[in-house]
Amino acid sequence: MTDLSNLFRLDGKRALVTGAGRGIGLLAARALAAYGAHVTLVSRSEADITAAAQAIIADGGLAEAIMLDVTDTEAVRAKIAEAWTFDILVNNAGTNRPGPFVDVEPEAFDLVTELNVKAAFFVAQAVTKRLIADGRRGSIINMSSQMGHVGAKDRTIYCTTKFAIEGMTKALAVELAPHGIRVNSIGPTFIETPMTAPYFENEEFRASVLLKIKLGRLGTVEDLAGALILLASDASGLMTGSSLLVDGGWTAE
């Protein structure tokens, strides 16, 4: 009989988290380590991920930091090829450039899609190749958004990329299932992070967001811990191609 108390444990597994220096990525690294995974934190900011890895180790976890620009596909391929085989990938690195559709310039479009879509695609490919070569099962978690399910004013680039992530998640789930590699996404609502903080200085914008979130508050990074651990662990062993919405009810209406 299965020991239900251990279904969420990640002991002996290795996890890779991109954009791990702050915000959601940092929370993901901390949560995975808290449940026993050895976590590799990746970011362009060496100071952030080094400090984060040291803090996880100080708390009794297992962690290391690798400075890497995930938009550099060849560097990603080389680094992951020489690193560990990762049982868990949290494809979190992302950005946003909100603004009216009619004002969008190619530079902004390319910047967001390069990180939100292309980088996520090729990081997942590099991790998958190692898993298949070693004959190991795995879990890929793509950090999407509620904006991968609905539209929003001034969010055309972001919505475009997150809808792409949802499509990628489903296609990979189908293709990688024979290898025992599960692929799911998480769709948060607006989460208070260093990246989103400037937006909420606009009280009108903050009020408009809170009207949409049925639970009446902005999200915190800790609100995502449960979904992350569920999808990373054997507790979600029959879940693939799914999107877990952590949106306070935004998309329910």
Q: What is the pLDDT tens value at each position of the chain, 253 positions in all?
A: 778 879 999 999 999 999 999 999 999 999 999 999 999 999 999 999 999 999 999 999 999 999 999 999 999 999 999 999 999 999 999 999 999 999 999 999 999 999 999 999 999 999 999 999 999 999 999 999 999 999 999 999 999 999 999 999 999 999 999 999 999 999 999 998 887 888 899 999 999 999 999 999 999 999 999 999 999 999 999 999 999 999 999 999 9
Q: Is the separation of the CB atoms in 18 and 26 below 8 Å?
A: no
Cβ-proximal residues to 161 (8 Å cutoff; 6+ apart), any chain: 94, 112, 113, 116, 117
pLDDT, tens digit, for every residue of 155-188? 999 999 999 999 999 999 999 999 999 999 999 9
Active-site residue identified among 13, 35, 79, 162: 162
Catalytic site residue 118? no
Average pLDDT for the chain: 96
Q: Is the separation of the CB atoms in 91 and 143 below 8 Å?
A: yes
In degrees, rounded to 5, the angle at the alpha carbon of residue 125 between the alpha carbons of residues 121 and 131 is: 145
Spell out the CATH class of 4-244: alpha beta
For the chain, domain boundaries: 4-244
Active-site residue identified among 13, 79, 158, 214: 158
Catalytic site residue 158? yes
Name the CA dihedral angle for 150, 161, 87, 76, rounded to a multiple of 10 degrees.
Answer: -170
pTM for the model: 0.96
Centre a 10 Å sphere on the Cβ of residue 175 and count the other Cβ atoms it contains.
12
